[in-house]
Structure formats: C-alpha cells, structure tokens
Amino acid sequence: MFQKILIANRGEIAVRILRACRTLGVEAAVVYSEADRDSLAVRLADEAICIGPADAKRSYLSASAVISAAVVTGCDAVHPGYGFLSEDETFAEVVGAHGLTFIGPPPDVLDRFASKEATRRLLGGYGLPTIPGSDGMLRDDAHSLEEADRIGYPVLIKPSAGGGGKGMRMVRSARELEQAIKVCRSEAKAAFGDDSLYLEKWLEDTRHVEVQVAVDRFGNGVHLGERDCSVQRRHQKILEEAPTPALSPAVRVELAERAIRAVVAAGYENVGTLEFLVDGNGDYYFIEINCRIQVEHPVTEMLTGIDLVATQIRIAAGEPLGFSQADVDLRGHAIELRINAEDVDHDFRPSAGVVERYLAPGGPGVRMDSHMYAGYEVPPYYDSLLGKLIVWGRDRGAAIDRARAALDELIVDGLVTNVPIHRAILRNEVFLDGRMTTNLLDRVGSAAFVAAAERR
Amino acid sequence: MGKHERDPADRLADHAAIDALANELIPALIAKLGASGLGEIEVREGDWKVRLRRPADGVAPAGGRRTGRPAASPAPVRPSLTPVGPGRGGGEEAEARIPGVGADIDGVGPAEPGGRGRDPFRAMATSPAVGFFQPRSGIVPGSRVRSGDPIGSIDVLGVPTEVVAAADGIVGASLVETGEAVEYGQELVWIELLSAPSGGPDALAALDPSAAGELVARSELGTGDPAPGEP
C-alpha cells in the first residue's frame, strides 16, 4: 500500500478520496488553487498544498504543478479524481516517470483505451456490440459524406477525445454535415486540444446504461452491475440509478457479464465504466469506456457495499481484488441526485455565492457526498456540482420515496440550486414508469417539465 | 477618560516633526536596518526619538504539517516614535505606534498573509510555483535589487522558475531556507523599500497629521496605554 497519496482534485470528490485514504489508513495531502483555500477538503486534510491560481489551466490542469506538489509533499501516489487530469495518459506517464503511481489504469492501459474509436474496435473484437459508425476518423468532407451515407442519416458527429457534449452534433442530412463538422472540430480543438471526429449512427430515444467493472493486475475482474444515467440535460447527467429500469434482469446480467469478459480479455486494469446506449428494442451498443472513478459511483456503492475508491487505490497499489463475482451482491435500488448550483428558471445558469445555511438530509439509506458547509463560498471558476444526494431502498418505489423525503430535508441557503428539477423528475410519470430517455428533458424543455410536475 | 487641550502651536510643531521623520528619516532607517542585519536602530532628533526594531523571530519555522498555510511571516520592521524630554507625556516612554504603519494597520498582527502588499516600506517576493526554493547566488540580506531582478528560483521537477524582486529595494529577511519545499504564493523574501511608494494610500494614511495628532494626544495622557495596533 502507498505511504501517502496526493489528492489532485477539488470539490466533493477530493473529500471522497480523503475519506477512502483514511479508511485505508493511508496519509493524504490535498492540492488546492487560490480560489479553493477555504474548501472542505483543505479543512479536513492533514496536509494541503497550494498549486496555483484559480485558473484551472495553471492549477488543477497543470501536470507539472500537481506532480511537483506530490514530490514536495513526499507522496508516492497521485489520485486524479474525475475530470481535470484523470484521463490524460500523458499525465499518467509523467507521474510514473517521477517514481509515483497514478491511481487509475497504468499508462500503457490508459494509452490503449485513449481513443474512443480504437476502443470500440478493440472491445467490439471481444464481443461487445457497437453502434454502426465511420471507418476511423473523418479525413475530409468527401470522406465524411461518404461515411454518413453508408451509415444512414441521422448521424452523430463525435470527438475522439473528451466528453460532456463538446464537439458533438446530430445531423439529419448531407446538407448540414459540412458546416456541423467545422463547428465540432473547433469545439473539440478548444475543449480537448484534439479535433479528431468520427461519425455514429444516431439512435433515437435511447437510454444511457453503464457497467461498472473492477479488474486487478492479475486479471481478476468483476462487474458491479450497471447504472442508468438516462436523465440528462444537454448530455449532462442529472440523476442516476441502479438497477436500470430499461432492461429485464436477465438482459442486465448478460450485459454486465459480456462487459467484464471483454475488458478482462482486452487487458483493462483498475476500476472503469463501460457506457452503452440502449434503444427502444432493448438492444444495447457499447459506446465508450471511462478509465476513472465516476461522479455517480456511489450508486453502485449503495447497491454492493463495496468502497469503489478504496478498491481503485488498492488495485493501483498492486493488491489483488480480494473478492470474486460470487461475492458481489446487488441489493435493492439506489438513486443519486446531483445537486448543482444552477438556476433552473434561467436556463440552468450557474450560480455562485456563499452557502449561508446547509443541512444534509439523513435517515436510513440516505447519503450526502458534498463539500458544502455553512459559510462556504462557491467559487465561480469550476463546475457547478455542490454535492450528491444518494438514497437506497429495497426496491425502486422505496428509493423514490426516500429520495423525495431526503430532498425535502435538504437545506442549501444563499445560492440557487437545481433542486426544483429533481422534485419535478421524482414526480414525473415517465420517470416513475422507468421510461426516461436521454433526450426527454431537452425535448420537453426543462421549464415545461418543472411546470408539469407542479400541476400534479 | 478626560482630555486636556494642548497649545495649538505645540501640536503644529509635533505634526511638522512627525511629518519630517516619517517622510525622510524612517524610510532611510528601514533600508539601513534591512541591510544591516541589526536588530534595532534608535535615533534621537530634537524632542523625538525614533526606534526601529526587528522582532527576534526573524525567520519563520520551516514547513509545518499544513503545507497549505503560508508560514508565519516575521514581524515587519516597526518604527516607533517616542516623544522625549520634559513636557512631552511627562517624560514617559509611552511607546506609541503610528497608526497605519507596517502590519499594525488593522491591528491584526504581522502574521496575516492578507496584510501583504499593504506595508508601505517593504514588498514581499512570493513563490510563482510549487517546488524547492534556491536563492540566487550573490543575493544575500543587504543586496540591492531592482524591481524584476531575479533573486532566486523555484525548482519545479528540475526546471527552475525565477523568483523576482517585486520592487526596487534591499533584500531583507528570507522566510524560507535554501532547498526548502514551498507552495504557490508562499512568502519567500522581504524586499525593504528604499522609499515609501509615492501616493500609496496606506503610506499616506500613516503620515496623516490627524493620525499623528492622535498619537500625540495618547502619549500626552501619560497612561501608557498601547496604541490600538498593539498586540
């Protein structure tokens, strides 16, 4: 096991990683930017180190600042959390070059799974169904038109790097294609420094279902079930749950088993998530793998009782997994609500300010992962996630009841939050029937969605 | 608490004397003290005595458990003006500070990083990166530097990043040891200014005659009460 871990992230995940370190009895130092001097992670940590100004490019995204911080604090491992440097294989490599361990897949594994397009081919070769798409990256307009014709419209333009909806466009006809590709290229270039794009068949009314896996360096792998992340707004997940209401128990098991077989065969290591789209027929298609801990990992923790962050750290330290598939018991139903500093009434505009009062809900099956405290000033420089409210129930109905009750108990005063959208979702008929699709919120419009729930 | 009026002429003379001391003598003394390594300098002039004292804890303890907290800065050089001779506060050495001078501005004491930059008589060179501090060879307390001159470097994974003087002045106390691990923004080296920055609001506030008048009034009361900035 490591002696001391550098937590190279901020917000709730920095607190979450700190808790895992303490559970494992490993020392930790947390990095922070000048804007995060008063963050909860800094307050809770035994040791904290300022790595740069508020601008993430010069702090949380600066590989040299982060690695230098690990060196000067005497850490032997770096936990990147999610976002920032977590999926940067060059960063992972440089971490290794300085004699430190990157907590995640080893650099060669990250490298193998770095390109979404190559990963689809790799895992497709190990038996995962994939969405019909372009033959490699788009070269020029002629190539793009030819590929789009072959796949059949509508098609989705996707960037090879990154995520979060940047550089993505759905195109219904050849007429729109050229211009859309131009826009996507510049967006992808700006967001990820890589403008490679590919095409995929656009599937209407899909659901987003992902399988959580954990594989140690000895090739022992387990799946920890799936999560449904279909409640999205502009490609951003808002609410996640497990198990997915989209698939029958038999298909869920089949999906998870195919996923773990494929990644073990492809030489994946550490925790990871395989994302699938599920269409109206219940057919699933592999789309990408996330080689990091995810925001919604607590959903799986609630179902399995397994600490995923601790598991991630132990695997990176070279320890065997220590449990088998038979030990993984998926019990009940869990739901996670992302609490964001966003104004639902104003197009989800991010809000910043001081959390004047904060009260986390409690009770059986209720968990709140947050970096808020009364008096905390939310800096305007980073994402708007304030915390995650996670509930567990014996079945989906019980979980929804607990989610509603917990949401009513949550108090965040001083800034605007997206709680109204959660209230609306938890009362929406489509959601209650388990029929949410990734495009529903955008199609209906969030305002109409909230208004409809208020009328009920 | 009663106050008794003083002769306006005496007050005016005090103001003039304090102005002269504050504008000319104190900056020069600060530079001398910064360069000398001496602990204290005292000068008598007319009815007034000026004493500058450098606190004993000149160098901050290196690296606490909490790397994230900037190490406590040494107290800045503190000028104290004391009226001497008969008729001035009964001859008592009621050491009063000029309100607004140095880190006593807010009465918060010297160790507040927020006070940085408000000291009209010196500037702080801070770390531009996370790494290990190396002073530039030949740069020692007392060296004269110009704004922008390199005074050291931070070794970031083997690559040096320059630490530069924030102002023209004289290199004063260093808060970190050679080779010590530092974080971004950490206070490294004081630069004692050769003259107070012109137009600096805090500097001027410190020299405000009305403030000086208050000083005189206090010392006259002869209570020995410390000025508001006294820790």
Instruction: Give all domains of chain A, ordered by start, each with its CATH number.
Output: 4-103 (3.40.50.20), 132-201 (3.30.1490.20), 207-455 (3.30.470.20)
pTM above 0.80, yes or no: no
C-alpha span between A173 and A434 (Å, rounded): 32
Strands B122-126 and B187-193: antiparallel
Q: What is the DSSP letter of B22?
A: I
pLDDT digit string (tens) for B131-141?
Answer: 999 999 999 99
**Interchain CB distance below 8 Å, A64 and B159:** yes
Average the pLDDT over each of A120-124, A195-199, A364-368, B56-60 and give the range with the smallest value: B56-60
C-alpha span between A58 and B19 (Å, rounded): 45
Give one word for A132, left, alpha or beta, with left for phi > 0 and alpha for psi -120 to 50. beta
Size of interface A-B (CB pairs under 8 A): 64
Active-site residue, from A292, A314, A338, A402: A292
Facing residue for A52 by CB, picked from B68, B181, B184:
B184
Facing residue for A65 by CB, picked from B65, B68, B130:
B130
User: Min CA distance, B133 vs chain A (Å)?
Assistant: 11
C-alpha span between A102 and A2 (Å, rounded): 11
User: Min CA distance, B61 vs chain A (Å)?
Assistant: 16
B193 part of contact set with chain A, CB < 8 Å? no
What is the number of other CB atoms lying within 10 angstroms of the CB of residue A158? 26
CB contacts of B156 in chain A (<8 Å) are 64-65, 68
**Interchain CB distance below 8 Å, A65 and B185:** no
Fold of B122-195: OB fold (Dihydrolipoamide Acetyltransferase, E2P) (2.40.50)
Q: What is the DSSP letter of A73?
A: T
Is it the case that residue A292 has pLDDT exceeding 70? yes
- The token pair at A376 is 């905390």
How confident is residue B24, by pLDDT bands cut at 50, 70 and 90? Answer: low
User: Min CA distance, A10 vs chain B (Å)?
Assistant: 14
Q: What is the mean pLDDT of residues A420-432?
A: 96
- The token pair at A62 is 């600066």
Average the pLDDT over each of A100-109, A410-419, A441-450, B199-208 and give the range with the smallest value: B199-208
A110 near A89, Cβ under 8 Å? yes
C-alpha span between A414 and A348 (Å, rounded): 17
B134 burial (CB, 10 Å; 0-12 / 13-18 / 19+) is middle
Cβ-Cβ contacts under 8 Å for B121 (sequence gap 6 or more): B26, B27, B30, B76, B77, B101, B102, B192, B193, B196, B203
Half-sphere exposure of A78 (CA within 13 A, CB side): 35
Is it the case that residue A214 has pLDDT exceeding 90? yes
B60 burial (CB, 10 Å; 0-12 / 13-18 / 19+) is buried
- The token pair at A345 is 């009434």
A248 burial (CB, 10 Å; 0-12 / 13-18 / 19+) is exposed
Q: What is the mean pLDDT of residues B172-177?
A: 94
pLDDT digit string (tens) for A145-155?
Answer: 999 999 989 99
Residues of CATH 2.40.50.100 domain(s) within chain B? 122-195
- The token pair at A24 is 């494992």
B185 part of contact set with chain A, CB < 8 Å? yes
Is it the case that residue B225 has pLDDT exceeding 90? no
B181 part of contact set with chain A, CB < 8 Å? yes
pLDDT digit string (tens) for A236-262?
Answer: 999 999 999 999 999 999 999 999 999
- Between B64 and B144, the higher pLDDT residue: B144
pLDDT digit string (tens) for A312-321?
Answer: 999 999 999 9
Q: What is the mean pLDDT of chain B?
A: 62
Is residue A172 annotated as a catalytic residue, yes or no?
no
C-alpha span between B149 and A201 (Å, rounded): 60
Q: What is the ipTM of this complex?
A: 0.84
Strands A366-370 and A4-7: unpaired
Strands B169-174 and B187-193: antiparallel
Report A:11-40 residues touching B (Cβ under 8 A). Answer: 29-30, 32, 34, 37
